[in-house]
């Protein structure tokens, strides 16, 4: 009985070592995917601010005109807001993102990275949607 307990203990340790590096590799792959999503839209940050400025300038022009198009102004204000929120969303995400695992277990790291994947995907979607909206509203 004592031998089988030791054997079971050794087998569990071996399984732990066998799974350990694989979990770390999977977590690194997931971290790389999170960063890839970030890297896809990070170069667009300047464009967001530039388009926000364009929208605000257009609002001023329309307000100065003799006939004010209040629907257009409302649309442009919403666009400027969306562009600003998308911009801010990236930096909020970046400030809270942890690049080091610290003392977390592999399972905790995976859970953290899964959560970060959801957050950075939302940032990506917000930026993409704001840019598409700007393309439609500022095309004129």
Residue 67 has a pLDDT of 86
The distance of Cα 136 from the centroid of its chain, to the nearest Å, equals 24
Q: 137, 55 in Cβ contact below 8 A? A: yes
Q: Where are the domains of the chain?
A: 26-137
- pLDDT (tens place) for every residue of the chain, 140 residues total: 565 666 666 676 666 655 556 888 999 999 999 999 999 999 999 999 999 999 999 999 999 988 888 999 999 999 999 999 999 999 999 999 999 988 999 999 999 999 999 999 999 999 999 999 999 999 86
CA angle 133, 67, 80 (to 5 degrees): 25
Residue 139 has a pLDDT of 84
Residue 118 has a pLDDT of 96
Residue 66 has a pLDDT of 83
């Amino acid at each position: 009985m004592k031998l089988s307990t030791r054997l079971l203990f050794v087998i569990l340790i071996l399984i732990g070592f066998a799974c350990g590096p694989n979990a770390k590799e999977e977590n690194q792959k997931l971290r790389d995917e999170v960063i890839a999503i970030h890297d896809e839209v990070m170069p667009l940050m300047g464009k967001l601010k530039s388009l926000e400025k364009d929208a605000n300038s257009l609002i001023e022009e329309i307000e100065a005109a003799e006939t004010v198009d209040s629907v257009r102004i409302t649309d442009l204000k919403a666009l400027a807001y969306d562009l600003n929120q998308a911009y801010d969303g990236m930096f909020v995400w970046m400030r809270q993102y942890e690049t080091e695992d610290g003392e977390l277990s592999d399972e905790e790291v995976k859970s953290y990275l899964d959560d970060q994947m959801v957050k950075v995907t939302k940032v990506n979607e917000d930026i993409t949607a704001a840019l598409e909206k700007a393309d439609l509203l500022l095309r004129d």
